[in-house]
């Protein structure tokens, strides 16, 4: 069969009219820092054609990400740059944003996200949901950043229907983006329907899973990859784009960066087959985090339980 590839990377229109490339490069290197590796990865991705880059204060590589972007010679207006507020900075949003902007040294930020709803104090203690600053208070401080002209859009990451229900009644600016774990094992259909109804775009982090991801050997994914003569990674990313999300995979290999950037369009039968994978026993689950912490006897991540985060799925 002849595989139909997209002629270019789609642009996503956010709720404020800003355009964001649907495929970006995630700059989490698997461990904190790794600045030189990150810098080289960004340089390679720019050469391949990537124009959307996603980093965070917590990744500790903003400086190297910004350096690669500046030295590329590509006009700043052609780059879409995202960074994120760290959990330890919810009480100092303005100062944290300015510090990120200084490290990036790229004139402005296109999208600034609250990385997680939970905050930590200066000692590293995770605050309870009702303790100040709550994520509602943090969001109100983020809204003020728009008046500086140094950030074009603001959004959140790792928010659920539950946390959105607590946030949205109090906002003046609806988040432009919610960046969450999304892939065929965790399509988050309810969250996607909810965000669509509110005008909030979903971006998929870990769209391929993590190292040794079961997604690469899933029988349905492999079968469809063989049918279209593409990689399993291309199937996973193309599915994310076809369902209307954006994706931010990470790779340091130029060959993989190129194939990840080459998107295809599935016929309806194959698209629905991928949509149904999560309904199979044991396949509606997180594959990006290895759970090892508990709060009050319940599985937790960064100090809040899955229940508090509003995450209702299995974990590895």
Cα-based distances in Å from 76 to 62, 218, 265, 279: 16, 40, 30, 43
Q: Has 59 been annotated as catalytic?
A: yes
Angle, CA of 96, 52 and 48, to the nearest 5°: 135
Measured between its terminal Cα atoms, the distance across the chain in Å is: 37
Helices (H), the chain: 35-48, 62-71, 93-104, 135-145, 161-167, 189-198, 219-228, 232-242, 254-260, 268-275, 306-309
Asked if residues 46 and 72 have their Cβ atoms less than 8 Å apart, the reply is yes
Asked if residues 209 and 287 have their Cβ atoms less than 8 Å apart, the reply is yes
Q: Please give the Cα distance from 9 to 2 (Å, whole number).
A: 20
DSSP 137-199: HHHHHHHHHGGGTSEEEEEEES--HHHHHHHGGG-SS--SEEEEE-BTTB--HHHHHHHHHHT
205 beta partners:
181
Q: Which of 59, 112, 194, 205 is catalytic?
A: 59
So which residues are the catalytic ones? 59
């Amino acid at each position: 069969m002849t595989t139909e590839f997209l002629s270019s990377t789609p642009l996503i229109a956010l709720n404020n009219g800003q355009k964001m490339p649907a495929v970006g490069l995630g700059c989490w290197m698997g461990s904190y820092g790794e600045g030189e590796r990150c810098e080289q990865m960004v340089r390679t991705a720019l050469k391949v054609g990537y124009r959307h880059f996603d980093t965070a204060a917590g990744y500790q590589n903003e400086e190297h990400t910004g350096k690669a972007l500046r030295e590329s010679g590509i006009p700043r207006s052609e780059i879409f740059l995202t960074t994120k507020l760290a959990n330890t900075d919810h009480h100092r949003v303005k100062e944290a944003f300015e510090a990120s902007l200084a490290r990036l040294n790229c004139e402005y930020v296109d999208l600034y996200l609250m990385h997680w709803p939970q905050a930590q104090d200066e000692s590293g203690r995770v605050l309870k949901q009702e303790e100040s600053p709550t994520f509602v208070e943090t969001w109100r401080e983020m809204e003020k950043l728009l008046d500086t002209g140094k950030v074009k859009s603001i959004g959140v990451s790792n928010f659920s229907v539950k946390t959105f229900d607590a946030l949205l009644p109090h906002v003046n600016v609806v988040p432009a983006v919610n960046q969450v774990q999304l892939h065929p094992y965790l399509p988050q259909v309810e969250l996607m329907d909810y965000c669509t109804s509110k005008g909030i775009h979903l971006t998929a982090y870990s769209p391929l899973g993590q190292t040794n991801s079961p997604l690469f050997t899933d029988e349905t994914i492999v079968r469809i990859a063989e049918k279209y003569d593409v990689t399993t990674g291309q199937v996973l990313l193309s599915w994310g784009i076809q369902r209307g999300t954006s994706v931010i995979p990470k790779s340091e290999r130029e060959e993989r960066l190129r194939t990840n950037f080459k998107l295809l369009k599935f016929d309806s039968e194959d698209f629905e087959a991928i949509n149904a994978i999560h309904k199979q026993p044991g396949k509606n689950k997180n594959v990006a985090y290895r759970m090892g912490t508990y709060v009050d006897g319940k599985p937790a991540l960064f100090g809040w339980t899955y229940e508090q985060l509003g995450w209702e799925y299995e974990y590895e």
